[in-house]
A and B are shown apart, each in its own frame.
Chain A
Amino acid sequence: MSATGLVAIGASWGGLRALETVLGALPEDFAAPVVIAQHRQADATDGTLVRLLDARCALTVCEAEDKQELDPGLVLVAPPDYHLLVEPGAVALSVDPPLNYSRPAIDVLFGSVAHAYGERAVGVVLTGANADGALGLAQIAGRGGTAIVQDPETAERREMPEAALWATPEARVLELTQIAPALTGLAGTREESAR
């Protein structure tokens, strides 16, 4: 079994392009489930983000439904205007008040990931213009999980990666194109796991 149980990604301003780059370079048989909190308008309910991502990567990308199971290689994106949380093996949604002016909030997702997956969690903070995700990434690292931050120099907006690095100085700093290979190195592919 892969040592990585779950990959959680947080993104804000510039996130669509960054997510395309990361998800687009993950292999079809990527061995871990992926959950994503991307900031967006509450009424962006037409599914455009998910359709774009799904069309451009080998993995299946869909908007998370409550209690949906986490399967290897399945990418679940937080629906607009909901917080996405995980429990061992499945996701849960909430309409609790926005955190950091955001719903979905990356901190809410990462906090639940740290709790449910401990050292088997990987948290990734991508481009953004606020500090959401910093606290959650520190929680993931604090429970022995792996913290990865997009190099602020290469991020469309550097504030969010910088805040994450301030909170988790030991995080791995990677250029955008290096993130997918690093994730594949951590989680492996299902072919490898079957061996």
Chain B
Amino acid sequence: MNGVDEHDEARERIEIDLLLEAIQRRYGYDFRGYALASLRRRLWHRTYGEGLQTLSGLQERVLHDPACMDRLLRDLSINVTEMFRDPSFHRALRERVFPLLRTYPFVRVWNAGCSTGEEIYSLAIALREEGLLDRTRIYATDIDDGALERARSGSFPLDRMQRYTENYQRAGGSDAFSSYYTASGASARFDPALAAGMVFAQHNLVTDGSFNEFQLIVCRNVLIYFGPKLQEEVLGLFGQSMTRRGILALGRKESIRHSTHADEYEPLVESEKIFRRRS
């Protein structure tokens, strides 16, 4: 540590800006509106992971080596999640949201930023138990193809199943959780029937537009990685992608309070950050 060095700070900011611009121009991924504190950690994580010392060094490698960009993209996009994360949220979905979905002959759900798919399978299991799965299509999108590939496989680490079983039960699950998967080596392979109504697609919340209208949009712990301006844009995108009186479910500590879109919603389950459009 060499004490305070304002120049270090200023130089790092320049390096981050240049790196993000390079990524945007070369690959089309736009991380410039991401929240700086997390972004900075993740960029340094990849820099050290590549055996490099500076963000400028990372910029050079990313520009010349698409495989390095793939690794960086993974670092910047994978959100660690689990099945039935926050059981009280999933209980609220089942008890308060599904009865509203039941009033539609055909239901469309968008899981935005689905990562490796733990959440869509949680949704599918609960929808099946409530008799809604057959008439529901779940659109699962993520920026990262690699994560989508894993989501599509419907396989999760077997050693996580004890934890997921507890979550499932606390979330109001009524069946034997183990009836939903078969063990195959170190993986738990989930019943393919759960995936019958799932559609997987690469979609970038930052640069891609609305592609359908949904009764329910689930986007948990994705907006926390975005800066305020980008959060605003994505909330706008969600608004355009919802049916009348559509429902938006965010992460437990995410908020729409500071957004200009806040007035468009009323809380449906306030403690779980489940909102419903007023019109």
Is B80 an interface residue when CB atoms closer than 8 A count as contact? yes
Query: Closest residue of chain A to B255, judged by CB?
Result: A65
Question: Which of A92, A95, A111, A144 contacts B4 (CB under 8 A)?
Answer: A144
- A80–chain B nearest beta-carbon distance, Å: 9
A67 touches B221 (CB 8 A): no
B224 touches A66 (CB 8 A): yes
| Tally of contact residues, B, Cβ under 8 A | 32
B1 touches A67 (CB 8 A): no
Interface of A is mostly: mixed
Knowing A95-B80, A118-B9, A142-B3 touch, does A66 contact B36 (C-beta < 8 A)?
no
CA A64 to CA B6, docked complex, whole Å? 29
CA A93 to CA B41, docked complex, whole Å? 12
A interface residue count range (under 10 / 10 to 19 / 20 to 34 / 35 or more): 20 to 34
CA A83 to CA B221, docked complex, whole Å? 12
Chain A residues lying within 8 Å of B204, measured Cβ to Cβ, are: none
A96 touches B41 (CB 8 A): yes
A67 touches B4 (CB 8 A): no
Is A4 an interface residue when CB atoms closer than 8 A count as contact? no
CA A119 to CA B9, docked complex, whole Å? 12
B4 touches A119 (CB 8 A): yes
A115 touches B253 (CB 8 A): no
B80 touches A112 (CB 8 A): no
A45 touches B41 (CB 8 A): no
Chain B residues lying within 8 Å of A138, measured Cβ to Cβ, are: 1
CA A94 to CA B36, docked complex, whole Å? 11
Is A164 an interface residue when CB atoms closer than 8 A count as contact? no
Chain A residues lying within 8 Å of B221, measured Cβ to Cβ, are: 93, 95
Is A79 an interface residue when CB atoms closer than 8 A count as contact? yes
Chain B residues lying within 8 Å of A141, measured Cβ to Cβ, are: 1
Question: Which of A63, A67, A95, A112 contacts B228 (CB under 8 A)?
Answer: A67
In the complex, chain A residues 54-94 whose Cβ is within 8 Å of any chain B Cβ: 63-68, 79, 82-83, 85-87, 92-94
Query: Closest residue of chain B to A82, judged by CB?
Result: B253
User: Quick one: CB contact mask for A101-115 with B, threshold 8 Å, 1 for yes?
Assistant: 000000010011001
Knowing A92-B224, A142-B3, A143-B4 touch, does A115 contact B254 (C-beta < 8 A)?
no
Is A22 an interface residue when CB atoms closer than 8 A count as contact? no
Chain B residues lying within 8 Å of A82, measured Cβ to Cβ, are: 224, 253
Chain B residues lying within 8 Å of A93, measured Cβ to Cβ, are: 221, 224, 253
B40 touches A94 (CB 8 A): no
Is A173 an interface residue when CB atoms closer than 8 A count as contact? no
- B16–chain A nearest beta-carbon distance, Å: 11
Chain A residues lying within 8 Å of B255, measured Cβ to Cβ, are: 65-68
B79 touches A144 (CB 8 A): no
In the complex, chain B residues 192-236 whose Cβ is within 8 Å of any chain A Cβ: 221, 223-225, 228, 231
Instruction: Offer 6 A-B interface pairs, CB within 8 angstroms, sorted by A.
Output: A65-B253, A65-B254, A66-B223, A66-B254, A92-B37, A96-B80
In the complex, besides A67-B258, A112-B41, A115-B9, 14 extra interface pairs with C-beta distance below 8 angstroms are: A43-B87, A45-B86, A64-B253, A65-B255, A65-B257, A66-B251, A79-B252, A79-B253, A96-B80, A115-B37, A118-B6, A142-B1, A143-B3, A143-B4
